Amino acid sequence: MAKKVLFITYFFPPSGKATVHFPVQMVKYLPEFGCEPIVLTVENESASMRDESLLEMINPALKIYKSKSFEPFDLYKIFTGKSKRENYIESEAISLNNKSLAHRLSIWIRMNLFVPDARIGWYFSAVKKAKQIYKNENFDSIITIGPPHSTHLIGMKLSRIFNVPHIPVLIDPWVDIIYYKNFKRSKTTLAIDNRLEKKVFEHASQIIFVTETTRADYSTKYTFVKNKSEVLYWGYNEDDFSNLVYREKKEEVLLHAGNIFDFQNPINFWATVKKQINGGRKLKLKFIGTVSPGIKEAIADAGLEPSTEYLGFLQYKEMLTELVNADYLLVCSTEPRHVPGKLFEYLRSGKTIIAFGNENNEVKQIIERANAGMMFNYEESAMEFFEKLNTFKTDIDYVKTFDRKKIAERLFDTVTNLNNVKKSKKDLTLSN
């Protein structure tokens, strides 16, 4: 009989949040290895853009349960004078450029009163719904996807109630996630958040990180983590790269896909791009997703507005089409522990990659191992990138090791091993 796994994920199609792709592909491929996934997600998620095309990836037979949640971002819109119909833009909501009292107060409330995060309002509804699901499905284990890390609290609670293994997946760090860096969190808030993080990690049967550096960092913070954790990279989906449309174009395109924040600003690189254009290179900048005010300002200051196109949010297939039609792909890691999910789609496209990120050796090593491009610190001009363009040729065979079908197989092995351990312990107890 197939093992049943409950996936608890706040973001799921039709949400267009990049976070959905990992759980979507895991639940897609796990049945091929003898595992039956079940999904619990939120009913009224309204903060992220919608991408109806992602629903095509969902097997109609997949059991999806939903429960309501309190959405504080609707209050944020009202508090800051925005219409309820206006899209919530993350890069603007935490931008330091906005000095208004309402904006600064809303950030303080978000950083200090919502612990561990602003989606904690889903907790009670999700736990109640999961209890109903267990009566129908009798699931064998629980996988939670975070951020939001409040999902891990839900998983821990249910794991204790039903005595099933809990496997939290951390796409980003918890207490010191990068966007907290420039904001003040009270000592009390930090103490509570650290306590919650430790409790989840202590209780977890296995912890999954999506970068080696994050795993190493947590293994230093909590020594017990090293012996019950593994790394499954974010990866990409091979099937998504079939039947994409290639177009003719008159200029070279340097593309950034995904949200980009003020703290990801390679400010001296914009001057390099301008020099290339002034030198006769027909080069165009394109941005997909939200672009923070600080980034736009830096691009304008460099005189690049006439050569820049902001495409906004695109459906996933449209984003991939733009990606494979670009010449160069820009990726900005946020900190040493961050391996951006888009990096793997970039790699699979075979396009040349220019990356920025201070002291991020993991991203650098992946790009160099694939011979796909170069990485620089944020302060560097990156002129060397254009000088060495002819030396890059992506090793696609290496890139294909990050196919999510292969990652799903490893996840299946983890779930199976944990359930076998639980069964062995149960049999031992009965024999005694």
Whole-angstrom distance, CA of residue 189 vs CA of residue 136: 38
Q: Average pLDDT in the 2-8 region?
A: 92
Give the per-residue pLDDT at 426.
47
> Sign of dihedral through CA atoms 91, 24, 73, 157?
negative
Q: Average pLDDT in the 226-253 region?
A: 94
Q: What angle do CA 225, 226, 230 make, to 5 degrees?
A: 95
Whole-angstrom distance, CA of residue 175 vs CA of residue 197: 7
Whether 430 has a pLDDT exceeding 50, the answer reads no
Whether 32 has a pLDDT exceeding 80, the answer reads yes
Closest Cα partner for 24 from 66, 72, 64, 74? Answer: 64
CA end-to-end distance (rounded Å), the chain: 27
Q: What is the dihedral of CA 252, 254, 258, 260, to 10 degrees?
A: -150
Give the per-residue pLDDT at 185.
82
Give the per-residue pLDDT at 176.
86
Tell how far CA 232 is from the center of its chain: 13
Give the per-residue pLDDT at 114.
79
Whether 431 has a pLDDT exceeding 50, the answer reads no
pLDDT above 70 covers a percentage of the chain that reads: 85
Give the per-residue pLDDT at 84.
55
pLDDT above 90 covers a percentage of the chain that reads: 74
CB of 267 within 8 A of CB of 378?
yes
Whole-angstrom distance, CA of residue 309 vs CA of residue 107: 30
Whether 399 has a pLDDT exceeding 50, the answer reads yes
Quote the DSSP letter at residue 326: -
pLDDT, tens digit (0-9, with 9 covering 90-100), for 371-396: 999 999 999 999 999 999 999 999 99
CB of 295 within 8 A of CB of 262?
yes
Whether 253 has a pLDDT exceeding 70, the answer reads yes
Q: Which two tokens stand for residue 71?
A: 């959405």
CB of 82 within 8 A of CB of 75?
no
Whole-angstrom distance, CA of residue 282 vs CA of residue 50: 34
Q: Which two tokens stand for residue 251?
A: 């200029």
Q: Which two tokens stand for residue 295?
A: 């980034």
pLDDT, tens digit (0-9, with 9 covering 90-100), for 77-105: 555 555 555 555 554 555 555 566 665 67
Alpha helices in 253-356 (DSSP H): 267-278, 293-301, 316-325, 342-349
Whole-angstrom distance, CA of residue 63 vs CA of residue 31: 13
Whether 319 has a pLDDT exceeding 70, the answer reads yes
Backbone angles phi, psi at 39, to 5 degrees: -115, 135
What domains are defined for the chain?
A: 3-71+116-235+404-431 (3.40.50.2000), 238-401 (3.40.50.2000)
Give the per-residue pLDDT at 427.
46
Give the per-residue pLDDT at 79.
53
Top-ranked range on mean pLDDT: pick from 95-99, 109-113, 247-251, 271-275: 271-275
Q: Which two tokens stand for residue 314?
A: 């695109």
Q: Which two tokens stand for residue 111?
A: 């950083």
Whole-angstrom distance, CA of residue 88 vs CA of residue 77: 8
CB of 30 within 8 A of CB of 404?
no
Lowest mean pLDDT among 143-152, 271-280, 419-428: 419-428
CB of 113 within 8 A of CB of 75?
no
Q: Letter for the amino acid at 201?
A: F
CB of 171 within 8 A of CB of 234?
yes
**Residue 209 bridge partners (DSSP):** 170, 231
